Structure 1
Amino acid sequence: MHPRIFFRSTALLSCALPASIALAQEVPQTQPDPETEEQGDGLSPSSVGTGAADDNTIVVTARRRQESSQSVPIAVSIVGGEHIDATGSFNVGRLQQLTPTLQFYSSNPRNTAVNIRGIGVPFGLTNDGIELGVGIYVDDVYYSRVASATFDFLDVAQIEVLRGPQGTLYGKNTTSGAINITTRQPTFTPEGSLEASAGSFDFRQVKAALSGPLSDTLAARIALSYTDRDGTLYNIASGDNINQQNNLGLRGQLLWEAGETLDITLALDWSRQNPVCCGTVFVGTGQTQRPLDRQFAALAAAQGYQVPNSDPFDRTTDLDAPLSAVNELGGAALKANWEVGPGTLTSITAWRFWDWLPANDRDFIGLPITTLSQNPSRQDQWTQELRYSGQLDDLDFVLGAFGYYQEIRTQGTQSQGPAASQWLITPANPLSADPSVLDGLTATNDIRLDNVSAALFGQLSWHLTDRLTIQPGIRLNYDRKDGSYVSVVTNGIGERVTFASIDPLIVAQRAVLAPQSFTATFSDWNLSYDFTASYELASDVLAYATYAKSFKSGGVNLNGVPSDADGNPILGAATVAPEVIDHFEVGIKAQALDRRLTANFAAFRTEIGDYQTLVTNGQLGVLRGYLANAEKVRSQGVELDLSFRPTARFNIYLNGAYTDAEYVRFDDAPCPPELSGGTTALPGQTPSALGTPGGFSPENCDISGQRLPGVSRWAFSYGAEYNHPAKLLSISGEVYFGYDGSYRSGFSSNATPSIYTNVDGYSLSNFRVGFRSDDGLNLFAWARNAFDEEYFEQLQVPSGNTGLIVGNPGDPATYGVTAAFRF
C-alpha cells in the first residue's frame, strides 16, 4: 500500500476515536487552582515580558498535561497573548526579541531559519530534504514548513518556547526544541475582541475574534487577522517600495461537547501573504582569490554599472528582476478528546498544505545577469497522532503513536540575461563579449520528495517521594525519504546543454547552468530516550537534571549535488546522515517574596555528531548550496530568567542567555569567500593570504573551533511596566507605561565564518503608553526600534565569489497607535 493511502486511511478511521487532553487554552474559563496559581501579570517565572491583562494563572502543556510552569523540569519560556498584542510580536520574527534563546533569520518566507540555542536547521538557503530541529505546533498540530513561522499569530492565547530535545512527548521528533502555540478555543460564554492599529510606513493591522454557543452542546469561534505595511526598501529599478507586509489569516473552530467525558473540535485555517518582497541592499565588497578582472569592481566597470548607493541604510536598491513572495498555507484538524479509565485518550487528525510562488533577483544587482529565478513549490502533509495520558497513584504517564506523510513538488526556472556573458565568462574567453551566448540560457527544475515518518513514544513521571521525581522517556522512530532532482538546461536557441558536447559554446553555457538528474532514498530506524530527575529543595524551589539521547533524521539533497569531471552527479553527496545528539542540562526554578520574585537558571551542553550543515559551491551557477555532515558541533551555555513585581503597580523582567556554539570538528568544510576562487593549491603549494586576487586557494578548509552561524554569544531581553489608576472620559481604568528592550551580540552570517559576513551586535528599544479600562478597552501608542538602530538581520555572499556582499537591514523606527476591546 502506498504510504499516502495508508496515512489518509488511518486519518479517516481515527476520526471516530474519541480522545482528550486538557490544553492551556481550554482552562482560562475555570477558576485558578490555588496550588498552581502564580502571582503577577500572568507571565510565568520562566516567561518573558510584562502585561497586566494576562491571566493570573500560568498553566503549561509542555508535558501534555496541565502544570504550573514552575513545576515543569524543562527550560521553557512563555509569552501570553496579551503581551504578544502589546509588543507587536505578531510573528516568530518579532517573538525572538522577547526570547533570547530563539534565533530567527529570513531572506524570504521559504528561506527562513528558526533555531534554539544556535541549532535546529542549517543557516542559509532552505533544503526541503531535511527535518526541522525546532518543531512548530499549533494546537497540537505539527507544522513541517518553517515558512509558517513568517505568518501572523492568529487569536493566540499563549506561546511556549521549549528548549532542548522534546521527542518523547511531541508528535514529531524535535532535537533542539519546540514552539508550542495555543490558540483561544470556542466558548459557551459569548466573548469577542477587536483590535485596530495604524502606524508609520502605512502600517495597518486589524484583528478580530468572536466566540459563543450555537446550542447546548455546540460552540464556535472565528478569528481574522490582516496586516499591511509599505516596504522599507526603495527599488529604483521598479519605482516600488519593496519588502512589504501583506498578510491575511482566517481561523474557524467548532466544538462539540458530545458527552461529559467526550468533546470533539474541528479547526479550519487559511493564511496568505502577497507582498512585493524580498530584496537586499548593497553592503560592500571584499577581495577574494579570483583573478582581479573577475572580481566585482572590474566586472561592474566593464559594463558601466554603479551601485545605487554605498550606504546600505539609505535603504535603496536597484533589483531589475521580478520580485514575488506569494505564500499560502492552511489546513484542517479534527481533535477528539475522551476521558477514559485513569486518563484521557487523544486523537489528532490533520491535513495541511503550503503553496510557495516566488520570484527573486539572484544576481542581487541592477544588471540583467539572472533575469528569472523562481521555484514554485506545493506541499501537502497528513498527520495522525494518538496519545493516552493520565495518572496512576504516584505515576504520571504519556503514551503515544504518531504517523506523518509529506509530499513536496517543486517546478522552477532560472534564466540568464544579456549581461550574463560579460559577467560570468572569463574576459580571456572571446565568448564573454557576445551577449547571446548566455542570454536566454534556462534551467528548468523538477524536484520531488515523498517523506514518511512513524513513531511510538512515551514518558513516565514517578513521584518517589513528595520532593523527588524521576522521569524516563523513550521514542522509537522510522523515517523514509524518497527524493528526485532533475534540472534540464537549454540555451537561447532551444538547444539542450549537455555534458556530452564539446562545442565551446555549450561548454561555456554549462559552466554557468549545469544539467543534472538523480534520485536518492534515505531510510532508517532510531531510538531516542531521555531521563530527568527533579527535586524540590524547598517550597517553591525546584532543581532538575536531564540527559537526552536524540536523533535528527537523515535526509536527501534537493538543491543538487556536486558533479564529477564527466558531469555525473556524485551520489555519495545525495544523502546526509542522521544527526546524533547528546544533551545535558541542569536547572533551578525558584520563587520568593510571596512569589513576587522569580529566578530560573539553566545550564546546558548539547553535542551533535554528523551535524547537518549547508555548504556552498563558490562557482557560478553550479550549485548555490547543498547539504553535508560536519563531524561534530556543540552548543553550551547558561540562561537566566528573572521576574519581579514589587507592587501591584510595577513589574520588571530580565532574561539572558550566553550561548557558545561551535564546530568542534569540521576539517573539510568549504572555504570562506576570502580564501576561495583562486587556483586550487596542489600538494606542496602554500595557499595564498586572505583576499589575494589570482592566488592559490585551499581545496577545503578546517573550520574546527569556529563559531556556528546565526547565534550570538550574548542575548538579552528586558523590560518593565508601570500602571496607575485613572479615568478617561469617566471610564475607570489605569494608565500605563511599558518598555521592552533586547540585545544580541555579533554573529556569523555565513555557514563557514567569513570576515565579510560578521554581523555587528545591536540593541532594540520598544515603548508603549496607554490606557486600559476595567471592562476591556485598551488604547495605546507605541514605538518600535524607537532609537532607529541601524542593524542587519543577516549578510549574504552571492554565488560566483565576486566579492559582492549584500544584506537584509532590520526594520527602522516605526510608530503607531492601537485601539483594542475585549468583551
Structure 2
Amino acid sequence: MKSFLKAALLAGAAWSVVPTLAFAQSAADDVAVEEVTVTARRREESLKDVPVAVTAVSGERLEVTGAVDITTLQQSTPNLTVQVARGSNSTLISFIRGVGQQDPLWGFEPGVGLYIDDVYIARPQAAVLDIFDVQRLEVLRGPQGTLYGRNTIGGAIKYVTAKIEGEPELKLKANVGSYDQRDFVASGKAMVNDYLGVGLTWATFNRDGFGKNLTTGAEHYDKDVVAARGTIELTPTDNLFFRLSGDIVTDRSNPRHGHREVPGLNVLGQPIPTATVLDDVYDTRAGAGDKNHVEARGVSFLGEWKASDTLTFKSITAYRAGETEGVIDFDNEPAALLDIPARYNDHQFTQEFQALYTSDRLQGVFGLYYLNATAAGAFDTVVGQANLSIATAGHVDTKSYSAFADVSYDVTDQLSISVGGRYTKDKKTGQVYRQNFTGLKSPLFGNPTAIPGLVRSNFTSSDTYERFTPRVSISYDITPDVTTYASFSQGFKSGGFDMRADAILTPTSINGYDPEKVDSYEAGLKGNFLDGRLSLNSAVFYSKYKDQQVTLQTPVGASIASQVANVGKSHIYGAELEGVARFTQDIFANFSLGYTKAEFDEYRALDLTRTPPVVRDFADERVFQNTPKWNGSVSLTWRHDLGDHGSIAFIPSASYRSSFNMFEVPSILDQDSYWLLDASLVWTSANDRYRVGLHGKNLGDEEYRVGGYNFPQTAGVLFGNSVTGYYGPPRTVTVSLEAKF
C-alpha cells in the first residue's frame, strides 16, 4: 500500500499544478494544442472527455517521425510493451500494465486486443502492422472487456483508417536507407460520384538483414513484406453508409533464429566448436533452414444507418484467415541440437451489431457479438543428440457469444456517470496430439522413415467459459478544459487447452486451464492548461490479477514438460503521465512517463526438481515478464516556415525503459535499462504535395533484447545449453520521398 501511495503521489505532482494552470490566460489560439478525437468508447469523443487512459497518435505524426510499424508505440506510450515476438519477423507480443501474452502458439489467446477498424484480430501472426494508410493509432490501457470483449484484460490497440472523402488523390512514397532498405507505397482514393468512393493501397517493404546466417549465407533479420488494402464506400443517402474493405499481407522474410548467448555444450558438458557466441548479435550459425512464409488476409463489411438524430445502428461483419510456415533454430548452430519446424493456420468469422444513442444528457452503445474461429498447427521438437523428434499437432475451435452495453448520463453540466457491462460465453474444443519419433523430424515434416514411439498425448476436450464483466466510472469537469475521473472495470481472458500438453508428464493438462480475471481501479485527470498551450493526461491504477495464465516449460530428460497453468494471483499498481506542451506556434514538445509495480501474491506450480514432483508456491521467486518499472519519452518538434519554399521540421526524441525480465524466472536473458535516441528532419512543400524526410533510428546504436529462449545445460543436457536472444533494430538512417497528385 505504501508503494501504491508513492505511485499516486507521482501523478499527484502533476495534478497539484491544476489550479494555477487552469486559470492562466496568456496564449493565443494559434499556439493552442490541437484537440484529439478518439473512438475508445465506440463513438467519437474528445480525448479529455473519455474516462479511460488512452494514447492517440495521428497518422501525420507517425509519418513525420518515420514510424515503421506499430511497435513504435512502445517508445511513446506509458506502460506499454509491443514487440516482434521471439523467433519471428511479424508475430506480435503486447503487454499493457504487466498484462499480456508472450507465447504466440495457436489456441493461446492474447491479453491485449488488436483491432483494425473495430475488427478484432484474434491471432498474433502477421500482426506487426506496417504504418501505411492509417488515420491514427489508439492504445487503450486497462481492461476493456465491456466494449471490446473477453481478451482485452490488459487493454486494446486500435489501427484506424480514414474515410474516403475530398478531392481525388494519388500518393506515392518511397523509403531508401540502411541495410539496402527499399520500401514503396502507392495509394489512391477518389469519389467516383457523390455516393461512391474507392480507395486502394499497395505496399512493399524490403531490407537486407542486420546480420548473416554464417552457415547458409542467408540474410538474417531481413525484411520481405508485401501488403495491400482496398476499400469501397457507398453513401446512398445522408443517413446510410456502407464500407467494404479487404486486406492482405505476405511476409517472406527469412526465419529469425536469434543469437546464441552462451557457448554450446554436448551431453558430456564439453564445448561444441560450432556453437560459440558470435560477436555480432544479429549473426547466427543456425542450420535449420531459411524457409519462412506468413500470410494473413481479411475482408470486412460495415453498414451504418442513422435512424434519427439520436439513434444510429451499425453492423460489422468480418472474415480473416492466415497461414504460417517456418522454422526456429533454438541452438543456433549447424547441427539439430534443438530445432523447431512449425506451421500454423487460422480463420475467424465475426459479426457485431451496435446501437448508438446520443441525446443532450444521455449517450450509450448497445451491442451483440459473435465469433467463430479455428486455430490449428503442428511442430516438431527435434533433439539431435538423442536422435529424437517430438511431433505436436492439434487445433482449437472457439465459438463466442456476447452482449454488451455502456451508458453515460450527464447528471449536471459538470458531472457524468457511466455504467456498462458485457456478458460473454465461450465454447471451446481442443484436440491435442503429441508423439515421440526416432529420427530427425517426424512424418509431419517430411521424414517418412521416422520410427513411431511413445504417444504422449492424443485427446479431445471441450469446455465452456462464461463471465459478466462490469464497468462503472464517474467524471467531473473541474473547468470546461479540465476533467477528472475514477473508474472500476473487470477484464476476462478465456480459458482453453495447451497445444503442447504432455499427458504423461503433466496428466492434468488434458483438463485445460481456467479463465483469468482482472479487477482494475483507475483515477485520472485530463485537460488543457495555460489557455491551451499545455495538454496533460494522467492516471493512477491498481489491479488485482486472478487465476493468472502462465506457460510453464520445464525440460525433463529428453522431453519438455509444457503446461499453461493458472498459477495464482498478483497485484499491479502504477501511474502514467503524458502530454503536449506548445511553447510557440512552431515549437512544441511531446512527453510521457510510466511507472508499474507488479508482484505475485501466489504462484503455484509443479516443482519437477523434487522426487516425486509436488505443487508449491513460487511467489517469492517469480517476477513479471516484459514489465519495466519505469518507461518514458520526450521529443521536441521545431518547425520553420520557408514561405513559398515550404517548411522544415526537426524532431529529435529520446525514450527510456528500465530493466525488465524476459520470463517469470530471472535469467541471463533479462534486459538492462536502455535509451533509444531518434531524430527526423522533414521538408514539406508549400502546397503540401511533396515531402522529403531524413530519419535516424537508434542513433546511439544501442543493443537491447526484445525476446529469448532459455534452455540451459542445467535444465537438460540434451538441449545443447541453448540460450538465445532476439534483438531490436540497430542504428538505421532512412530517406523518405513522398508526392501527392
When normalised by structure 2's length, the TM-score is: 0.89
2:647 and 2:268 mapped to 1: Cα distance? 60
**Deviation of 1:561 (Å):** 3.2
Q: Which residue of 2 aligns with 1:753?
A: 666
Q: Say if 1:39 and 1:783 are closer, same or farther in 2 by CA, change over 3 A.
A: farther
8 A contact 2:126–2:295 mirrored in 1: no
SS of the equivalent of 1:576 reads coil
8 A contact 1:562–1:623 mirrored in 2: no
User: Aligned match of 1:211 in 183, 189, 193?
Assistant: 189
8 A contact 2:145–2:152 mirrored in 1: yes
8 A contact 2:336–2:382 mirrored in 1: no
8 A contact 1:274–1:327 mirrored in 2: yes
2:635 counterpart of 1:719? yes
SS of the equivalent of 2:726 reads strand
1:177 and 1:277 mapped to 2: Cα distance? 30
8 A contact 1:559–1:623 mirrored in 2: no
Structure 1, 546-555 or 466-475: larger mean CA deviation = 546-555
SS of the equivalent of 2:64 reads helix
Q: Which residue of 1 aligns with 2:624?
A: 708
The residue correspondences of 1:231-246 to structure 2 (distance < 5 A) are 231-246=209-224
1:451 and 1:133 mapped to 2: Cα distance? 16
AA of the residue aligned to 1:473: G
8 A contact 1:130–1:553 mirrored in 2: no
Structure 1, 540-549 or 799-808: larger mean CA deviation = 799-808
AA of the residue aligned to 2:739: F
**Deviation of 1:302 (Å):** 4.6
1:41 and 1:552 mapped to 2: Cα distance? 44
2:258 counterpart of 1:321? no
The residue correspondences of 1:346-425 to structure 2 (distance < 5 A) are 346-370=314-338, 373-417=340-384, 420-421=385-386
User: Aligned match of 2:127 in 149, 153, 165?
Assistant: 149
2:405 counterpart of 1:458? yes
Structure 1, 599-608 or 344-353: larger mean CA deviation = 599-608
2:525 counterpart of 1:588? yes
Any idea what the Cα deviations from partners look like across 1:559-604, whole Å, max 9, x if unmatched? 223525xxxx614554111112211000001211221111221000
Q: Which residue of 1 aligns with 2:591?
A: 654
**Deviation of 1:88 (Å):** 3.0
**Deviation of 1:354 (Å):** 1.1
**Deviation of 1:172 (Å):** 5.3
AA of the residue aligned to 1:735: I
SS of the equivalent of 2:695 reads strand
**Deviation of 1:620 (Å):** 5.1
2:677 counterpart of 1:765? yes
Structure 1, 88-97 or 241-250: larger mean CA deviation = 88-97
1:795 and 1:413 mapped to 2: Cα distance? 19
User: Aligned match of 1:345 in 313, 319, 324?
Assistant: 313
| Structure 1, unpaired ranges of 5+ | 1-37, 45-55, 286-295, 422-437, 497-504, 683-696
2:75 counterpart of 1:97? yes
**Deviation of 1:245 (Å):** 1.2
8 A contact 2:78–2:577 mirrored in 1: no
Q: Say if 1:465 and 1:494 are closer, same or farther in 2 by CA, change over 3 A.
A: closer
Any idea what the Cα deviations from partners look like across 1:106-137, whole Å, max 9, x if unmatched? 1115764211112022x3x3233333221111
User: Aligned match of 1:602 in 539, 554, 573?
Assistant: 539
**Deviation of 1:306 (Å):** 4.0
8 A contact 2:456–2:504 mirrored in 1: no
2:204 counterpart of 1:226? yes
Q: Which residue of 1 aligns with 2:429?
A: 482
The residue correspondences of 1:484-633 to structure 2 (distance < 5 A) are 484-492=431-439, 515-564=456-505, 570-572=507-509, 574-619=511-556, 621-623=558-560, 625-633=562-570
Q: Say if 1:318 and 1:67 are closer, same or farther in 2 by CA, change over 3 A.
A: same
Q: Which residue of 1 aligns with 2:649?
A: 736
Q: Say if 1:281 and 1:190 are closer, same or farther in 2 by CA, change over 3 A.
A: same
2:679 and 2:607 mapped to 1: Cα distance? 43
The residue correspondences of 1:176-325 to structure 2 (distance < 5 A) are 176-284=154-262, 296-297=264-265, 299=267, 302=270, 304-311=272-279, 313=281, 315-325=282-292
SS of the equivalent of 1:82 reads helix
SS of the equivalent of 1:95 reads helix
Structure 1, 398-407 or 775-784: larger mean CA deviation = 775-784
2:580 and 2:572 mapped to 1: Cα distance? 26
2:393 counterpart of 1:446? yes
**Deviation of 1:665 (Å):** 1.1
Q: Which residue of 1 aligns with 2:699?
A: 786
8 A contact 2:92–2:126 mirrored in 1: no
2:550 counterpart of 1:637? no
Q: Say if 1:349 and 1:39 are closer, same or farther in 2 by CA, change over 3 A.
A: farther
Q: Which residue of 1 aligns with 2:417?
A: 470
2:510 and 2:394 mapped to 1: Cα distance? 16
SS of the equivalent of 1:154 reads coil
The residue correspondences of 1:122-161 to structure 2 (distance < 5 A) are 123=102, 125-161=103-139
Q: Count matched residues.
A: 700
AA of the residue aligned to 1:618: P
1:745 and 1:624 mapped to 2: Cα distance? 32
SS of the equivalent of 1:555 reads coil
- CA RMSD in angstroms comes to 2.7
1:39 and 1:706 mapped to 2: Cα distance? 52
Q: Which residue of 1 aligns with 2:64?
A: 86
**Deviation of 1:714 (Å):** 0.4
Q: Say if 1:495 and 1:521 are closer, same or farther in 2 by CA, change over 3 A.
A: closer
1:764 and 1:200 mapped to 2: Cα distance? 17
When normalised by structure 1's length, the TM-score is: 0.80
2:146 and 2:510 mapped to 1: Cα distance? 31
8 A contact 2:106–2:395 mirrored in 1: no
8 A contact 1:359–1:373 mirrored in 2: yes
Any idea what the Cα deviations from partners look like across 1:167-215, whole Å, max 9, x if unmatched? 2222555211111111122225212322111001011111221110223
Structure 1, 778-787 or 460-469: larger mean CA deviation = 778-787
AA of the residue aligned to 1:462: Y
Any idea what the Cα deviations from partners look like across 1:617-662, whole Å, max 9, x if unmatched? 2225523643101210222100011310010110112101001112
8 A contact 1:397–1:458 mirrored in 2: yes
1:260 and 1:582 mapped to 2: Cα distance? 42
1:202 and 1:579 mapped to 2: Cα distance? 45
The residue correspondences of 1:425-440 to structure 2 (distance < 5 A) are 438=387
**Deviation of 1:479 (Å):** 0.4
Q: Which structure dedicates a bigger proportion of its chain to strand?
A: 2
2:31 and 2:350 mapped to 1: Cα distance? 36
Q: Which residue of 1 aligns with 2:24?
A: none
**Deviation of 1:822 (Å):** 3.4
8 A contact 1:250–1:269 mirrored in 2: yes
State, as a whole percentage, how many aligned pairs show the same letter.
27
Q: Say if 1:131 and 1:173 are closer, same or farther in 2 by CA, change over 3 A.
A: same
Any idea what the Cα deviations from partners look like across 1:756-789, whole Å, max 9, x if unmatched? 2321111101111131122122112111101111
**Deviation of 1:393 (Å):** 3.9
8 A contact 1:663–1:705 mirrored in 2: no
AA of the residue aligned to 1:545: A
